[in-house]
Amino acid sequence: MNLAGKAVLITGGRRVGRALARLLAERGASIALTYHSSREVIERTVAELEAEGAKALAVAADLSVAEQAGLAVDAVAAAFGRIDVLVNMASIYRPTPFAELVPADFDAMVAANLAAPYHTSIAAARRMLDQPDDDRDGIKGKIVNVGDWATNRPYRDFLPYLAAKGGLTTFTQALAVELAPDVAVNMVQPAMVEPPDDLTDATPLRRRGEPGDVNRLILYLLEGTDFATGGLYRVDGGRSLA
């Protein structure tokens, strides 16, 4: 997929998402960023992109609510004429020790880490399927979900978070089957990207990752190949092997 002139929706954008927005804008894409509570950060990023000549849009939404997710996708299509790429990056990550678990922990993690990407993906995919393939390459759109390597190797104190991300992993592969051959759906599974200092060397590669390590993989899935769907791609410095 040639990103020039394409419309990209990125959920979230405070850190890795912000860097991704800039990277894709440099490739000629129009960028929409959603926010729920980080309005100032997202609107500043949009202003910076516009100052550099890119088309950009900030969209307020609670994506865990299906209606709001649909309205967010509609806003992107109204502003840019179409939607070609969705990157589900927004997430909540916090410890929830087993002895202190309450039902609200599960509800919050599922809402942010599973319901939001689910509803946004469904709305975006329906829009993608209804629009023409401008590149005439058989691909009408692409969806990339950001997961977590630990769904295959869980650790303690994050039970609701990992349950939600595990659901997102299965959803990614199931959606890839549903949408083939028109829309490609993949997942990247980061770890050790700008981690706390005490974890800096906790990978076989003996270094920490940076947003660019994740975003260059996402860029490859968007622009480097049209022959990947249903894939789970770790970018973790080998953390899953340690």
| Digit-coded pLDDT (tens) for 31-60 | 999 999 889 999 999 999 999 999 999 999
Summarised one tens digit per residue, pLDDT across range 146-195 is: 999 999 999 999 999 999 999 999 999 999 999 999 999 999 999 877 76
How many C-beta neighbours within 10 Å does residue 172 have?
23
Identify the pLDDT of residue 195. 65
The length of the chain is 242
pLDDT for 31: 98
Evaluate if pTM is beyond 0.75.
yes
CATH number at residue 41: 3.40.50.720
Q: Which residues contact 53 (CB under 8 A, 6 or more apart)?
A: none
Give the mean pLDDT of 122-137: 87
Nearest to 63 by CA among 85, 91, 39: 91
Considering the domain boundaries, does residue 161 fall inside one?
yes
Residue 140 resides in a domain:
yes
In the chain, % of residues over pLDDT 70: 95
Q: What DSSP designation does 194 have? A: S
pLDDT beyond 90 at 202: no
In one-letter notation, the amino acid at residue 29 is A
Query: What pLDDT score was predicted for residue 204?
Result: 82
Burial of 43 (0-12, 13-18, 19+ CB in 10 A): middle
> In 10 A of CB 107, how many CB atoms?
13
Whether 3 shows a pLDDT value over 90: the answer reads yes
Question: Considering the domain boundaries, does residue 63 fall inside one?
Answer: yes
Amino acid in the structure at residue 81: G
What's the domain range around 108? 7-241
Helix (H/G/I), strand (E/B), else coil: 30: strand
pLDDT of residue 199: 59
What's the pLDDT at 47?
97
Q: How many domains does the chain have?
A: 1
Query: Is 2 within the bounds of a domain?
Result: no
Average confidence (pLDDT) over 213-236:
96
Q: Is residue 12 part of a domain?
A: yes
Residue 201: the pLDDT is 64
Q: In whole angstroms, give the CA distance from residue 135 to residue 195.
A: 39
In a domain, residue 1? The reply is no
Selected residue with higher pLDDT from 85 and 236: 85
Kindly give, in sequence order, each residue whose CB lies less than 8 Å from that of residue 5, ignoring residues fewer than 6 positions away: 28, 29, 30, 134
DSSP 141: E
Q: What is the pLDDT of residue 237?
A: 81
61 assigned to some structural domain: yes
d(CA 181, CA 221): 15
